[in-house]
C-alpha cells in the first residue's frame, strides 16, 4: 500500500476505535478488541489482496464516498449510512459498557467473531469476480464496465451485499449488544433500498443487465428474494 493509503487506513481505524472505546468509558472490553482486530486484519488482507490482484479496483474503492457521476440517490444513501453506522457503534458501546444493559453469553460473541471473517471472505470472492464492484453506484464507462454473471453472480445478483450482511450481523454479536442487534433491521433496510437504487441505474445504463436479471432471479438470498 502507498503511504497515503496507509495513513487513511490508520485514521479510519482510529476513528472506529474512538467511536467504540470513548463512549464505553473503558478499554476493558474483550468484544470491542476482538471486533477491532478482525476489522483491522480483514481490511488489511482485502487491501493487500486487491493491490496484488486488482489495483484498479483498489484505486476505485479508496476514492471518496461522494464522486462525479455517482447516482444522486446513492449520495443520499451514503450520507445516511455514515450517520447511522457510526451512531450504531456509539450506541452499542454505551449499551454494553456504560449502561450495562446487554449481557451476551460467550457463545453469542463467538458466533459474531465467526460471521465477521466469513463476510470478508464472501466480499473477497465478489471482488475476485467483479473488477467493477466499487463503493458507489455509477456506470464506469471509462473502465469498460460490463455485466458480470460468473462466480457468486451466477447465484444472486448482489453477492457483495450478501457477504456484507454476514459482517453486519456479526458486529453486534461480537460486541455483545442486544440493542445493536435490535437496530440491525434498520441498517438492512437501508441496504435493501440501495439495491433497488443500484438495479435501477444498472438497468438504465448497463447494456445486458436486463437479460442478466431475467436469468438470475434472486437478488440476495436464493429461493427467497
Find the domain containing 121 and state its range: 3-215
% of the chain exceeding 70 in pLDDT? 99
Residue 133's CATH number: 1.20.120.1630
Read off the pLDDT of each residue in 86-95 and give the average, rounded to a whole number: 97
Q: How confident is the model at residue 2 (pLDDT cuts 50, 70, 90)?
A: low
Does 123 map to a domain? yes
In the prediction, which pLDDT does 157 show?
Answer: 97
Q: What is the pLDDT of residue 64?
A: 84
Residue 130 in domain: yes
Number of domains in the chain: 1
pLDDT tier, 6 (very low <50, low <70, confident <90, very high otherwise): confident
Q: Provide the pLDDT confidence category of residue 1 given band limits of 50, 70 and 90.
A: low
Residue 223: inside a domain, yes or no? Answer: no
- Spatial neighbors of 32 by CB under 8 A, at least 6 apart, are 20, 21, 24, 93, 97, 175
Ranking 42-51, 62-71, 111-120 by mean pLDDT, the lowest is 62-71
Residue 220 lies in a domain: no
Is residue 73 included in any domain, yes or no? yes
Q: Which tops the pLDDT comparison, 126 or 191?
A: 126
Stretch among 6-10, 22-26, 188-192, 218-222 having the lowest mean pLDDT: 6-10
* 140: its cell numbers: 464506469
**Do the domain assignments include residue 39?**
yes
192 inside domain: yes
Give 86-144 as a DSSP string: HHHHHHHHIIIIIS------HHHHHHHHHHHHHHHHHHHHHHHH-TT--SS----GGGT
Q: What is the mean pLDDT of the chain?
A: 94
Helix axes 3-24, 30-53, angle to 10 degrees: 160
Higher pLDDT, 3 or 96: 96
Whether pLDDT at 3 is above 70: no
Q: At residue 33, does pLDDT exceed 60?
A: yes
Amino acid at each position: 500500500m502507498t503511504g497515503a493509503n496507509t495513513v487513511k487506513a490508520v485514521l479510519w481505524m482510529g476513528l472506529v476505535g474512538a467511536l467504540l472505546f470513548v463512549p464505553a468509558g473503558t478499554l476493558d472490553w474483550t468484544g470491542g478488541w476482538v471486533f477491532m482486530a478482525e476489522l483491522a486484519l480483514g481490511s488489511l488482507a482485502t487491501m493487500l489482496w486487491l493491490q496484488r490482484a486488482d489495483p484498479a479496483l483498489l484505486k476505485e474503492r479508496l476514492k471518496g464516498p461522494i464522486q462525479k457521476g455517482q447516482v444522486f440517490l446513492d449520495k443520499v444513501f451514503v450520507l445516511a449510512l455514515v450517520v447511522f453506522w457510526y451512531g450504531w457503534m456509539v450506541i452499542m458501546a454505551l449499551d454494553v459498557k456504560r449502561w450495562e444493559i446487554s449481557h451476551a453469553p460467550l457463545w453469542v460473541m463467538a458466533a459474531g467473531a465467526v460471521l465477521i471473517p466469513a463476510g470478508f471472505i464472501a466480499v473477497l470472492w465478489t471482488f475476485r469476480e467483479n473488477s467493477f464492484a466499487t463503493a458507489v453506484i455509477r456506470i464506469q464507462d471509462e473502465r469498460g464496465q460490463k455485466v458480470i454473471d460468473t462466480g457468486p453472480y451466477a447465484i444472486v445478483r448482489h453477492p457483495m451485499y450478501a457477504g456484507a450482511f454476514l459482517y453486519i450481523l456479526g458486529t453486534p454479536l461480537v460486541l455483545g449488544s442486544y440493542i445493536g442487534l435490535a437496530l440491525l433491521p434498520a441498517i438492512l433496510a437501508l441496504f435493501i433500498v440501495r439495491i433497488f437504487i443500484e438495479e435501477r441505474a444498472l438497468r438504465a445504463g448497463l447494456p445486458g443487465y436486463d437479460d442478466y436479471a431475467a436469468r438470475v432471479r434472486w437478488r440476495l438470498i436464493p429461493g427467497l428474494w
